[in-house]
Amino acid sequence: MKNPIPALLVMFALATPLTSIAQLPKPNELPTNLPGTTTVVAPPQDFDPLTASDEDLAYHGFPPRPDEAASPQAFASWSKAMSASKTRITPKLEQTSISHGLSKANANVTPPPVGSNGALSSSILAGYLNPNGASTYGSNSFYYVLSDLYVPAASQGPGVCTGGWVDGFSWIGIDGYATVDLLQAGIEYDAYCKGLASGAAYALWYQWFPGYEVLVTNLPVAPGDPYFIELWHTSPTQAYVYFVNENTLQAAEVGFTAPAGTALTGRSAEWIVESRTVTDVFWNAYAATLSGGGFDPSSATTDSIYIPGVAGPTLLGPSTFVAH
């Protein structure tokens, strides 16, 4: 896939960490084609993630299971995605020079005061951010964030032809509110138009800002595909992402480490569309802390901050919204 022109960058932030759920190297963990990243081999054919213990899930590279009592929607979403993980793909990764995060040179987001409700001012971002007040890495830190979302059709907008590429990104994240560190993963959709020529490119990606975006190039991504994405960590410097294409019944897991000098706090969780031209739907959007506390966009009435973008996010239910 081509390296798209960097979109105007994001924002958010946090503080500094300690340690968490220690993760020892596994005998079934393998290096990928990108130095410093790993994946886990496919589980045995008879392995059932729906009945497996938390320890066995982690060993076989499955993401953390939401607590059914805390969020029936997130639990149902996770269960459906794990059942759809029929084929585990060994990911092929491509390092890019694209970045999604705070940039003093062209930051385009103005946050409200920490601890206040309200809107983040943004020209290209739309979605929700949930701060939890954590100032150091510990039991109150966000542990995982997940969502279902459809791959939107890449577009430059009605009647628009820029003579090049216009990029769009839908993503989930941890941190980024009050620090420059931001752990995120999502879908990229880029539209090309020049004269009579047009086209589109799609990919999955993850990033630990201030590092750069990494593409997952061998998991199918097409407009309309329903995807489940979960992002989590086992220490302030070790993270994982799990992608499931629920059309093709394929999944991929990637383990990766923080850039040098970067460490997670777990102070915020977010669900974001980064685009001026595309509308996307997030549903079963959910995040949980290490101590088990749960958050979703419906917390907007108490502690969530919305990012209005062009037309604002529209909340359709406790964990479902349209961002545009």
- Tell me the domains of the chain and their CATH numbers: 30-316 (2.60.120.700)
CA-CA distances (angstroms) from residue 110 to 104, 107, 178, 218, 305?
Answer: 12, 8, 11, 36, 12
- Cα separation, 256 vs 184, whole angstroms: 12
Query: What are 127's two structure tokens?
Result: 């979605």
Residue 119: pLDDT above 90? no
**Three-state SS at 106:** coil
Span 222-237, pLDDT tens digits: 999 999 999 999 999 9
pLDDT band at residue 128 using 50, 70 and 90 as cut-offs: confident
Q: Residue-wise over 2-18: b if at least 16 C-beta within 10 A, else e?
A: eebebbbbbbbbbbebe
Answer whether 306's CB lies under 8 Å from 119's CB: yes
- Cα separation, 324 vs 314, whole angstroms: 8
Q: Which amino acid is at 211?
A: G
pLDDT recorded at residue 153: 95
Average pLDDT of the chain is: 84
Span 79-110, pLDDT tens digits: 999 999 999 999 999 999 988 764 432 334 45
Using a 10 angstrom Cβ sphere, with 0-12 exposed, 13-18 middle and 19 or more buried, the burial of residue 23 is middle
Helix (H) or strand (E) holding 243: strand 238-245
- Cα separation, 215 vs 28, whole angstroms: 23
Q: Please give the model's pTM, rounded to 2 decimal places.
A: 0.87
Residue 120: pLDDT above 50? yes
Write the CB contacts of 231 (distance below 8 Å, at least 6 apart in sequence): 144, 145, 146, 172, 173, 174, 183, 184, 185, 206, 239, 240, 241, 242
